[in-house]
Amino acid sequence: MAEQDIFDISVVGAGPAGLIAGAACAQSGLRTVIIGPPSNRDDRRTSALFGGSIELLKRLDILERLGGLSEPITGIRIVDGSASLLRAPEVLFEAREAGFEAFGYNIPNAALTEALEGASGRLLTRVPSGVTEVKIGSRDVTLTSDSGEKLASRLVVAADGRSSATRAAAGIEVSNWTYPQSAIVAMFHHQRDHHGISTELHRSAGPLTVVPGPGKTSNLVWIDTHEEVARLLALDDQAFCGELSTALKGLLGALSDFTPRQSFRLSGQTARSLAKSRVVLVGEAAHVIPPIGAQGLNLSCRDAAALADIAGEAKRSGVDIGGEATLKRYENARQADVGSRVFAVDLLNRSLLSNIPGVSIARGFGLFALASSPALRARVMREGVMPTTSHHQPSTSPLAQDVDI
Ligand SMILES: Cc1cc2nc3c(=O)[nH]c(=O)nc-3n(C[C@H](O)[C@H](O)[C@H](O)COP(=O)(O)OP(=O)(O)OC[C@H]3O[C@@H](n4cnc5c(N)ncnc54)[C@H](O)[C@@H]3O)c2cc1C
């Protein structure tokens, strides 16, 4: 293939992580192509995206495109609903307590990918096909699409999800595990104002979270055992509404107008390496975590931002974009952040599931300490603003840069 036909970056997969990574790389001055079928418009999940991710979406002109579909999250309430011997009081993290206007925004996944597809058209090349072959050479990688098209690039970004074939082609192995839980998502209307507060009810089968949406709507992520989720999915709207009202103990008043429910089985996965053989991993190709504390896509946004910086800098300084030095910089920039989030979410989930009294008592003491100490809460929020493991330095944004609570 002629030199001028070789892209700097090809992104395999046009889900949220691939679209964000592709747009960020293009904005960093890299000649970029995204290859993948249009993303699932029937994804009824929303993503709570925090400060650092929102800053990136603003830079990519995505936030304005979402119009009134996103909702600011100004507070996070944690309620201990476990059967622990030590029941902790509820903890409320308020963005203004740490000097921010909001922690971030709650954004519907379908609207997010649609806005990203609309915006990326101007910036980069888009090939709406699947990749059937990945051929890694010493100077570039050639991808073959299912329409027979061949595309070459210096670096390939594997954003093709948890079963990534691109990751496998690079010889990167994964560790994976499952949880005895599934999550139900749905959107609903309610009588009382949510005041911008996301509420996490920590129950012994997993957290039940209601995230604020526009007006008097909220988005539900209800984690429970597979058996209980199957039972809840089989209920009609009225019966399901009754179950949720009981679980929320009247928090949002009368509930109505539920969208059809979707469910997801919970699992975890980490890749042994985040970069190898001219391939880097982003999104769920790199890390899969349960939807607790809204970390998955936020991690992916930080993957995208780090990659765009590192590969953009390599291009400007004439270094091989897919070479060993660039891959190593990406691996070093992302390893600690990814590892620590996977560990923290897994630990929190297992502490809820655990029947060992010491474990639930320790979690209860943690919530007690947070509830009674504004200084400790502020410290936790500041750690969110300046995550010690993140690649990026905080900006002077009125949004928290990241939240890990
Ligand atoms: C219930 C639930 C709630 C969540 N809530 C939040 C939240 O509030 N905040 C948050 O940050 N995260 C959240 N997450 C996590 C977040 O949804 C995921 O991290 C995110 O959707 C993963 O996106 P992705 O692009 O990596 O993967 P995917 O969405 O799986 O995209 C992969 C893409 O690759 C494509 N593909 C696959 N194979 C090929 C191929 N051979 N060629 C080309 N394309 C290919 C697929 O078609 C797909 O479009 C939640 C997850 C769940 C389950």
pLDDT, one tens digit per residue, over 318-335 is 999 999 999 999 999 999
Question: Domain for residue 182, yes or no?
Answer: no
Question: Domain for residue 154, yes or no?
Answer: yes
How much of the chain, in percent, has pLDDT values that exceed 90? 71
The best mutation among 127, 160, 185 to test binding of ligand 1, ranked by most ligand atoms within 8 Å of the C-beta, falls on 160
Q: Is the CB of 185 under 6 A from ligand 1?
A: yes
* Residue 155's CATH number: 3.50.50.60
Question: Domain for residue 94, yes or no?
Answer: no
Q: Structural domain tally of the chain?
A: 1
Question: Domain for residue 24, yes or no?
Answer: yes
CA of 116 relative to ligand 1 center, distance in Å: 14
Question: Domain for residue 172, yes or no?
Answer: yes
Confidence of residue 358 (pLDDT cuts 50, 70, 90): low
**Residue 185 Cα: closest atom of ligand 1:** 1
Res. 395: pLDDT tops 50: no
Residue 294: domain span: 3-71+108-176+269-356
**Residue 262 Cα: closest atom of ligand 1:** 1
Across all residues in the chain, what is the average pLDDT? 88
pLDDT, one tens digit per residue, over 250-280 is 999 999 999 999 999 999 999 999 999 999 9
Q: Is the CB of 110 under 6 A from ligand 1?
A: no
- Is this model's pTM higher than 0.75 or not? yes
Confidence of residue 396 (pLDDT cuts 50, 70, 90): very low
Cβ neighbours, 10 Å, residue 362 = 14
| 379 contacts: CB under 8 Å, gap ≥ 6 | none
pLDDT, one tens digit per residue, over 167-196 is 999 999 999 999 999 999 999 999 999 999
Res. 282: pLDDT tops 50: yes
pLDDT of residue 266: 95
Question: Domain for residue 371, yes or no?
Answer: no
Which residue, 162, 204, 179, 161, is CA-closest to 346?
A: 179
pLDDT of residue 39: 87
**Residue 162 Cα: closest atom of ligand 1:** 30
Question: Domain for residue 171, yes or no?
Answer: yes
Cβ neighbours, 10 Å, residue 370 = 21
pLDDT, one tens digit per residue, over 10-31 is 999 999 999 999 999 999 999 9
CA of 17 relative to ligand 1 center, distance in Å: 7
CA of 285 relative to ligand 1 center, distance in Å: 9
Per-residue burial over 148-160, b = 16 or more CB atoms within 10 Å of its CB, e = otherwise? eeebbbbbbbbbb
Phi, psi of 295 (to 5 degrees): -105, -25
Minimal-distance CA residue to ligand 1 atom 20? 297
Question: Domain for residue 385, yes or no?
Answer: no
